[in-house]
């Protein structure tokens, strides 16, 4: 259960399978160490002036050394100076901007700019990772596997051998390493990383720029969003990773991106490098239907309820708005994504297309006796597993949204219990200090009435929608002792629990008691919820085991059938390269331009609206626009470009990725995809898929002319 639960947490943190064929120049999330073998000729034909060694090298500085994974892959970023300065999206730094904000220093509304190194703000727990190298270890893994192994035996063998390989790779270094599975368990690669722990906030525009358009424009085009923020990496004086210290110095990178002010034209080469989180393009027809009916539909319903509760309170107070800004943003992003994905999958008739592929593959398998022996059961295993495990799949999705991503008191009590229990026994003052810091971090952004209302709403919905056999044990207490009133139960819980009340938490730290802890109502709920999770996983084991085997054989058969084509694996938060070009796209029969500009930005804006309106425009920006004071960052005709589109293949996790021209220069920062292509994580459609980017010249304009932080521009290598 422990490993399963850790796996669940990883999926949640990252958040977040059609076959993969290199049919179009714009499709493909390619592993950088295979670019020389699979892609370089085509990339150079399209306009790339670099070699494969310039992109990925373990012998010299290369583009990979300027691309970073934030928090082990939640977002991406790019180094832009020899002093460890890097850019990512505003929404990727939103949690840190929010954490530093107060009513008196509202950096979400007003922005933040460090005018000296001393003003840069530390961010505990934020990390930046660099890819050191990748190694194909497929043969080493497969040599230890046999056809007669059960899936459980197979998985244990792979895990042990993978851990051994990773430990050997780390030996004598400060690096991190892991062996990752690709193509549904048919290939395995070793990844070695260097991770830095001292990451400081340097600059962020106000949300009126960084989140311009907010929920209304999210996933839409045209866009006018300056979605960027700036951080700096610090390290020990010897260049190695170190926890925050005043003695730390700016990191000296192996490579950083020069920044182009030359712009681009329609059809120009564009490349994105970053850490896409998750795609499922190998998903079968039954899995696609299940994703639509279960995962997306449940997420839409429950997040809609949670967001309504949050927004009502956020509208009443600046303090509450700041407390819940990041939480609301995280929730609403994939709420809208799920709506768009369901619409896209339906419009593209993806279930039927997957069914056709499966019929073609079945026909190919039956044409050869050896194939029938090896692959004959693949699709049957997949179909039966999905169909028979559907009720459990529904319960698992409700569990995730209702409990673990529902009321915060559940998660806080579960993740704090072990430390509190140890403190109750040991009375350790060091542990007390850790718990006081954890308490401060939690209650700073916690508003009990919101959490209580979310608790009541989630419990009622779960009880009504999920069969009783999958209910947590405390539901029986609510029924028998509280007349099935979650309102009355919540009154008790939120009055008595130390995890819902900061004063009670403080009292516990002053006078710790194991009995108080064990009998805390929030912990009782959390314990019941986690116990239910274990039960759900136990019941799902048979279906999951058969599904994994079926999917592995299905993909292996597909790769064999299409052995004359280059294939790329699903995204899994490892570094990828995607190449394409700048260009327009057509939506609803209308061709859309590939650029947006300041004229549109200002005309779309609402300068007299409240500062937290989605389309508020600050007067300083209006003044710069009226004066056409764009500095060196304007187009040749004097206009100011804000955003542009390319056909690069990206997904969540690519947020903040560098958009690079054929010379290896930075021209933009990727921050979104388009609404019409939300189905792309499952089924890529080259005629629809677009990557939405903020123009690097607009970024520099905001830093230089709007914020007056020209000292940051001086760190960069500008190409005119």
By annotation, the residues acting in catalysis are 91, 227, 655
Q: Which two tokens stand for residue 18?
A: 């059609």
- The answer to whether 220 and 671 are in contact (CB under 8 A) is no
Check: CB of residue 330 under 8 Å from CB of residue 211.
Answer: no
What are the residues whose beta carbons fall under 8 Å from the beta carbon of 693, sequence distance 6 or more?
A: 643, 644, 645, 646, 659, 668, 669, 670, 671
Distance separating alpha carbons of residues 7 and 10, to the nearest angstrom: 5
For residue 156, the tally of other CB atoms under 10 A from its CB is 12
Whole-angstrom Cα distance, residue 285 to residue 354? 5
Pairing of strands 641-646, 691-695: antiparallel
CB-based contacts of 137, cutoff 8 Å, min separation 6: 162, 165, 179, 188, 189, 190
**DSSP string of 240-259?**
S---S-TT-EE---S----E
Q: Contact at 8 Å (CB) between 94 and 232?
A: no
User: Partners of 78 in the beta sheet?
Assistant: 67, 87
Q: Of the candidates 599, 384, 362, 518, which has an alpha carbon nearest to the alpha carbon of residue 508?
A: 518
CA–CA dist 222, 350 (Å, integer): 26
User: Distance between CA atoms of 99 and 471, rounded to whole angstroms?
Assistant: 35
Q: What is the DSSP string of 51-65?
A: -HHHHS-SSS--GGG
**Token code pair at residue 1:** 């259960």
For the chain, the farthest-separated pair of C-alpha atoms sits apart, in whole angstroms, at: 76
Q: Percentage helix, strand, coil, to 5, in the chain?
A: 50, 15, 35
Q: Which helix (H) or strand (E) holds 231?
A: strand 229-235
CA 122 to chain centroid: 22
As to burial, measured by CB atoms within 10 angstroms (0-12 exposed, 13-18 middle, 19+ buried), residue 135 is middle
Cβ-contact 198, 234 below 8 angstroms: yes
> What is the Rg, in whole angstroms, of the alpha carbon atoms belonging to the chain?
26
Q: Enumerate the β-bridge partners of residue 91.
A: none
Q: What is d(CA 307, CA 314) in angstroms, rounded to the nearest whole number?
A: 10
- Alpha-carbon span 207 to 705, nearest angstrom: 17
Q: 336 preceded by cis ω (within 30°)?
A: no
3-state secondary structure 456-495: HHHHHHHHHHCCHHHCCCHHHHHHHHCCCCHHHHHHHHHH
* β-pairing verdict for 128-136 and 187-196: antiparallel
Q: Backbone phi, then psi, for 511, in 5-degree steps?
A: -140, 75
Distance CA 127, CA 123 (A): 9
Q: What is the DSSP string of 591-631?
A: EEPSEEEHHHHHHH--TTS-TTSTT---HHHHHHHHTT--G
């Amino acid at each position: 259960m422990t490993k399963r639960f850790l796996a669940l947490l990883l999926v949640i943190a990252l958040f977040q399978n059609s076959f993969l064929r290199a049919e179009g120049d714009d499709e493909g999330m390619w592993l950088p160490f295979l670019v020389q073998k699979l892609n370089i000729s085509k990339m150079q034909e399209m306009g790339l002036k670099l070699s494969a060694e310039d992109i990925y090298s373990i012998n010299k500085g290369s583009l990979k050394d300027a691309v970073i994974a934030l928090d082990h892959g939640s977002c991406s970023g790019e180094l832009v100076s020899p002093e460890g300065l890097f850019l990512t999206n505003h929404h990727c730094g939103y949690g840190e901007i929010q954490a530093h904000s107060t009513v008196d220093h509202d950096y979400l509304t007003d922005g933040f700019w460090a005018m000296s190194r001393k003003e840069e703000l530390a961010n505990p727990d934020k990390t930046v990772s660099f890819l050191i190298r990748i190694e194909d270890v497929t043969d080493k893994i497969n040599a230890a596997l046999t056809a007669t192994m059960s899936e459980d035996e197979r998985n244990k063998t792979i895990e042990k051998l993978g851990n051994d390989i990773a430990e050997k790779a780390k030996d004598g270094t400060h690096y991190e390493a892991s062996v990752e599975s690709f193509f549904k368990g048919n290939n395995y690669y070793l990844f070695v990383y260097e991770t830095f722990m001292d990451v400081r906030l340097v600059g962020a525009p106000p949300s009126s720029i960084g989140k311009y358009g907010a929920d209304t424009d999210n996933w839409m085009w045209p866009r006018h969003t300056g979605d960027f923020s700036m951080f700096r990496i610090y390290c020990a004086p010897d260049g190695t990773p170190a926890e925050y210290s005043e003695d730390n110095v700016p990191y000296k990178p192996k490579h950083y991106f020069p920044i182009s002010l030359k712009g681009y034209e329609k059809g120009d080469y564009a490349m994105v490098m970053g850490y896409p989180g998750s795609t499922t393009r190998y998903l079968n027809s039954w899995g696609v239907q299940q994703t639509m009916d279960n995962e997306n539909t449940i997420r839409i319903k429950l997040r809609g309820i949670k967001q309504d509760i949050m927004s009502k309170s956020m509208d009443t107070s600046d303090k509450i708005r700041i407390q819940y800004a990041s939480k609301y943003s995280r929730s609403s992003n994939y709420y809208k994504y799920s709506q768009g994905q369901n619409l896209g999958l339906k419009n593209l008739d993806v279930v039927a297309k997957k069914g056709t592929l499966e019929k073609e593959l079945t026909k190919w398998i039956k044409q050869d006796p050896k194939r029938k022996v090896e692959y004959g059961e693949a699709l049957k295993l997949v179909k039966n597993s999905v169909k028979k495990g559907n009720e459990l799949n529904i319960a698992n999705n409700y569990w995730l949204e209702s409990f673990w991503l529902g009321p915060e008191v559940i998660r806080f009590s579960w993740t704090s219990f072990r430390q509190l229990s140890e403190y109750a026994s040991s009375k350790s003052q060091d542990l007390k200090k850790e718990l006081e810091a954890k308490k401060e971090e939690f209650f700073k952004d916690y508003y009990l009435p919101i959490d209580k209302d979310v608790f009541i709403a989630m419990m009622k919905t779960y009880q009504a929608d999920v069969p009783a056999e999958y209910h947590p044990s405390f539901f029986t207490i609510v029924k028998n002792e509280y007349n099935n009133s979650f309102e009355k139960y919540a009154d008790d819980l939120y009055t008595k629990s130390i995890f819902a009340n900061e004063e009670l938490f403080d009292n516990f730290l002053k006078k710790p008691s194991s009995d108080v802890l064990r009998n805390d109502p929030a912990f009782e709920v959390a314990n019941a919820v986690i116990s239910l999770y274990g039960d759900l996983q136990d019941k799902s084991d048979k279906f999951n085991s058969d599904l994994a085997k079926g999917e592995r054989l299905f993909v292996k058969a597909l790769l064999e059938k299409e052995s004359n084509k280059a294939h790329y694996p699903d995204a899994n938060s490892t570094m990828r390269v995607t190449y394409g070009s700048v260009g327009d796209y057509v939506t609803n029969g209308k061709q859309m331009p590939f650029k947006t500009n300041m004229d549109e930005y200002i005309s779309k804006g609402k300068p007299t609206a409240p500062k937290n309106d989605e389309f508020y425009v600050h007067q300083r920006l209006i003044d710069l626009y009226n004066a056409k004071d764009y500095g060196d960052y304007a187009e040749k005709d004097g206009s100011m470009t804000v955003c542009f589109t390319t056909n690069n293949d990206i997904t969540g996790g690519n947020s903040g990725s560098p958009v690079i021209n054929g010379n290896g220069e930075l021209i933009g920062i990727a921050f979104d995809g388009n609404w019409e292509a939300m189905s792309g994580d499952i089924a890529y459609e080259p005629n629809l898929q677009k990557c939405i980017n903020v123009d690097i010249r607009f970024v520099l304009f905001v830093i230089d002319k709007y914020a007056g932080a020209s000292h940051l521009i001086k760190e960069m290598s500008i190409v005119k």
